[in-house]
Amino acid sequence: MVMQELGAPIDLARDSQIAVGFGHLKAFGQALDGLRLREMLESGDVILREPIGVTALITPWNWPIHQIFLKVIAAFFAGCTVVLKPSEITPLNAMILAEIFHEAGCPAGVFNLVNGDGPGTSDALVRHKDVAMVSFTGSTSAGVAVSVAAAQSVKKVALELGGKSPALLFTDANIEAGLASTLAKVFDNAGQNCNAPTRLLVERSIYDDVRAKVVDLAQARRVDQPSNPGNFTGPVAKTGSHG
């Protein structure tokens, strides 16, 4: 499904997109084993860890299973009910997950799925009086809007706002290795990663040489249908940022 709705090459979808989701599930399970809901301190004070309540979870389009599992499983293990609003660009994984929860006998109201766009659906969800906490992953501009909307009812907000730092290349570096690493990260997931180094700052004395090598590497990059095996660039699901 990741391949179908995101365009991720099948090997990337299986080995990274899906694998990292299951990795979150395993890690949260291990963390839960060591969680102490009631902790007595040496001072005599007691720390109680309690569910915060209804959580609104807003996930991005570029790593759907990764982000959905990261938020939903953590909220479940903390004892919170969930309202998930996936990206309208890649909503199918969330819809399948909802069916799985239903078939598994998840009690009504524990997991809730709402589809829609960011400005309309997400804003209404963030402002809802019954939502106690919002977890949002997306662009900085959308994160600001979420914070402003949540402030009306003083909700707890957790933000992961994507930003891309440049790669740096100096004369004393291994140029070939540096470029190979940089472009591999740029082209990974069709460039749809929040940490893709899509800017390259190069020392002036090697600029022309680096520029020529970048063009050659880019032109040699394989572009193919996502259903085919291998490491290549598949279709781009969406350009620009999403909130």
- Residue 121 has what DSSP assignment? I
Return all residues near 45 (Cβ < 8 A) that are at least 6 apart: none
Cα atoms in the Cβ-side hemisphere of radius 13 Å centred on 112: 14
Q: Which two tokens stand for residue 112?
A: 């809730």
Which of the residues 5, 88, 106, 194 is marked catalytic?
Answer: 194
Q: Is residue 106 annotated as part of the catalytic site, yes or no?
A: no
Q: Crossing angle, helix 19-33 and helix 64-77, to 10 degrees?
A: 20
Q: CB 180: neighbour CB atoms within 10 A?
A: 13
Helix (H) or strand (E) run with residue 228 in it: none
Q: Is residue 160 annotated as part of the catalytic site, yes or no?
A: yes
Say how far apart CA 55 and CA 85 lie, in whole Å. 11
Q: Crossing angle, helix 207-220 and helix 175-187, to 10 degrees?
A: 40
Phi, psi of 174 (to 5 degrees): -80, 100
Burial class (CB in 10 A: 0-12, 13-18, 19+), 168: middle
Q: Which two tokens stand for residue 161?
A: 């706002």
- Are the CB atoms for 138 and 67 separated by under 8 Å? no
Which of the residues 42, 88, 160, 176 is marked catalytic?
Answer: 160
| Positions marked active-site | 160, 194
